[in-house]
């Protein structure tokens, strides 16, 4: 089955939750929202990318984004959805600030990093903290479109085990997708950004 790029308008989520207005607030609503989004992700083809479109959403709070978005991203990073990924789009400044606050809160309170993919002005980036080596690797994948551990090891003049670890960490954070290939060099994984 072919990977899909699916846009899901978060205003539709408000309707599906039986709410009115343009606000997504409270942890309890975030939990219900996460369940709805999970159902949609589960029904998509492997390797699919979900663009969670926040256009028109006027307000979220830290509790909602922590439960719905970061909770979902954590599950994606844990491999519960295979190679499916989420990318956030059309975040207004207030929503983005609350998302960044929720990311910071998780790091400070639980010592847990949950970075998310964010598409802004046609460029994909990461919201949340990454080690410099991981951020550099992420940007290299963006530049090259695909990257293997061998490619990274050659480019950065590092051991292949170190290169593999960097790529796996990005995968485990839910920031990249990977595809296993077998070629003349043997079996390897190719990593790419899900856009």
- Same domain? For 76 and 150 the reply is no
pLDDT value at residue 182: 85
Taking the C-alpha atoms of residue 57 and residue 48, their distance in angstroms, rounded to an integer, is 24
Mean pLDDT of 64-87: 95
Domain co-membership, 86 together with 166: no
Of the three residues 99, 127, 155, the one that is the final residue of a domain is 127
pLDDT in tens, 114-172: 999 999 888 999 999 999 999 999 999 999 999 999 999 999 999 999 999 999 999 99
Average pLDDT score over residue span 39-52: 93
Please tell me the distance from the alpha carbon of residue 7 to that of residue 20, in angstroms, as a whole number.
21
pLDDT tens digits along 2-11: 788 999 999 9
The answer to whether residues 36 and 85 belong to one domain is: yes
What is the percent of the chain where pLDDT is above 70?
Answer: 99
Residue 152 tokens read as 């990274």
Average pLDDT of the segment spanning 169-183: 92
**b/e code 87-120 from CB counts within 10 Å (16+ = b):** bbbbbeeebbebbbebbeebeeeeeebbbbbbbe
Residue scoring higher pLDDT (176 or 186):
176
What pLDDT, on a 0 to 100 scale, did the predictor assign at position 90? 96
Q: Do 79 and 63 lie in a common domain?
A: yes
Q: What is the 3-state secondary structure (H, E, C) of 101-127?
A: HHHHHHHHHHCCCCCEEEEECCEEEEE
Domain residue limits at 149: 132-192
CATH number of the domain that residue 170 is part of: 1.10.10.10
pLDDT of residue 185: 73
Check whether 1 has a pLDDT greater than 70: no
């Amino acid at each position: 089955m072919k990977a899909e790029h699916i846009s899901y308008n978060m205003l539709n989520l408000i309707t599906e939750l039986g709410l009115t207005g343009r606000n997504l607030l409270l942890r309890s609503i975030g939990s219900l929202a996460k369940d709805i989004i999970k159902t949609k992700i589960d029904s998509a083809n492997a390797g699919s990318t979900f663009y969670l479109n926040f256009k028109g959403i006027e307000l979220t709070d830290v509790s909602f984004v922590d439960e719905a978005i970061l909770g979902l991203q954590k599950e994606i990073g844990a491999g519960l959805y295979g190679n499916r990924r989420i990318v956030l789009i059309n975040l207004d400044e207030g929503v983005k600030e609350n998302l960044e606050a929720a990311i910071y809160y998780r790091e400070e309170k639980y010592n847990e990093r949950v970075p998310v993919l964010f598409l802004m002005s046609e460029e994909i980036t990461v919201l949340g903290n990454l080690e410099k080596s991981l951020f550099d690797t992420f940007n290299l994948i963006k530049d090259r479109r695909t990257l293997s551990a061998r490619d990274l090891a050659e480019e950065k003049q590092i051991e292949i085990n170190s290169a593999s670890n960097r790529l796996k960490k990005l995968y485990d954070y839910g920031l990249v997708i990977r595809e296993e290939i077998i070629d003349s060099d043997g079996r390897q994984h190719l990593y790419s950004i899900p856009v």
